[in-house]
Amino acid sequence: MSFQIEINEKIVTVKLENRKNMKHCYMRILKDDLIQIRANAYFTIYDAKKLVEKKLDWIEASIKKLSKNLIKEDEFLYLGEIRKLDDFKIKNLDLFYKKEIQKILPIFLEEFSSKMQLFPTSLSFRKNKRTWGSCNYKNGLNFNILLMKFPIEVMKYVIVHELAHIKHKNHSRDFWSLVAVYCPNYKEIERNFKNFL
C-alpha cells in the first residue's frame, strides 16, 4: 500500500509494508522521493499518514541530508565520509573494505575485549546482507566488511554489541545494561546508523 505527499514542492511516495511478526514501526528514507514504513498487520494507511505528519520535520531534514550525501559512480563511503575511488586506486571495493577492516577493527576489538574481559574464540569478516555482526554459540565473532562505510563510532558500537553476546546470548535487560557500560550513547548511535542506511 502506498500514498503520495508533497515535500518542498516535490512528490514523495510513502510505501507501507505490513508484517505479521513486527512489534515496532520503522520508517526509512530510501530515496529522496521514497519513504518506507514497516509495521505490524494492524497499522493502517491512516496511521501511516499520521506518522508522516508527526515526523515531517525529521523527514525533511533526512531527505536534505540524503540528497547531499548521494554517492556518485566514482565515489564511495569510507568511515562516514565520501571519498573518490581514484584517490585510492580501487578496482574492487569489497576487497578494499575487507583489507581495511582487517587492519582497523582488530585494534578496537582488542581494546574492548580487554576492558570487558570478554574474548572471542575466532574472528572473521564477510559481506553480509542482513547482519552487521554476529556471535556464534562457540563465541566466534563475525563482522560485516561494509562497516567500513560508516563512522568509526558505529564499528565500536557493533564490537561492544557482539562482545556482550559472549556473556548474554540474547537481547535481555542484562545484555543492554552491559552494552550501556561500554557504549553509553548506543541508542543515539543506532538512530544515526539507521539514517545512514
**More reliable by pLDDT, 24 or 176:** 176
- Domain match, 114 and 155 both: yes
Determine the length of the chain: 197
If one counts the domains in the chain, the total is 2
Of 41-45, 71-75, 132-136, the poorest mean pLDDT is in: 71-75
Q: Are residues 64 and 97 in the same domain?
A: no
Does 34 lie in the same domain as 101? no
Same domain, 117 and 31: no
Same domain, 149 and 190: yes
Domain stops at, among 68, 85, 111: 68
Domain that holds residue 56: 2-68
CATH of the domain at 119: 3.30.2010.10
- Is the model's pLDDT at 195 over the cut of 60? no
35-46: burial string, b at 16+ Cβ within 10 Å, e else: bbbbbeeebeee
pLDDT tens by residue, 20-62: 888 888 998 888 889 999 999 899 999 999 999 999 988 988 8
**Selection from 95, 101, 93 nearest residue 73 by Cα:** 93
38 and 125 fall within a common domain? no
pLDDT at site 18: 93
Residue 41 lies in a domain: yes
Domain shared by 133 and 55, yes or no: no
Query: Does any domain span residue 85?
Result: no
User: What pLDDT score does 111 carry?
Assistant: 97
Q: Are residues 101 and 151 in the same domain?
A: yes
pLDDT digits (tens, 9 = 90+) for 86-131: 888 898 999 999 999 999 999 999 999 999 999 999 999 999 888 8
pLDDT of residue 46: 92
Burial of 8 (0-12, 13-18, 19+ CB in 10 A): exposed
Choice between 68 and 77, residue whose per-residue pLDDT is larger: 77
Q: Does 88 fall in a domain? A: no
Among 51-60, 134-143, 150-159, 176-185, the range scoring the smallest mean pLDDT is 51-60
Predicted local distance difference test score (pLDDT) of residue 138: 96
Q: What is the dihedral of CA 186, 188, 32, 85, to 10 degrees?
A: -50
Q: Looking at the structure, tell me whether residues 62 and 106 fall in a common domain.
A: no
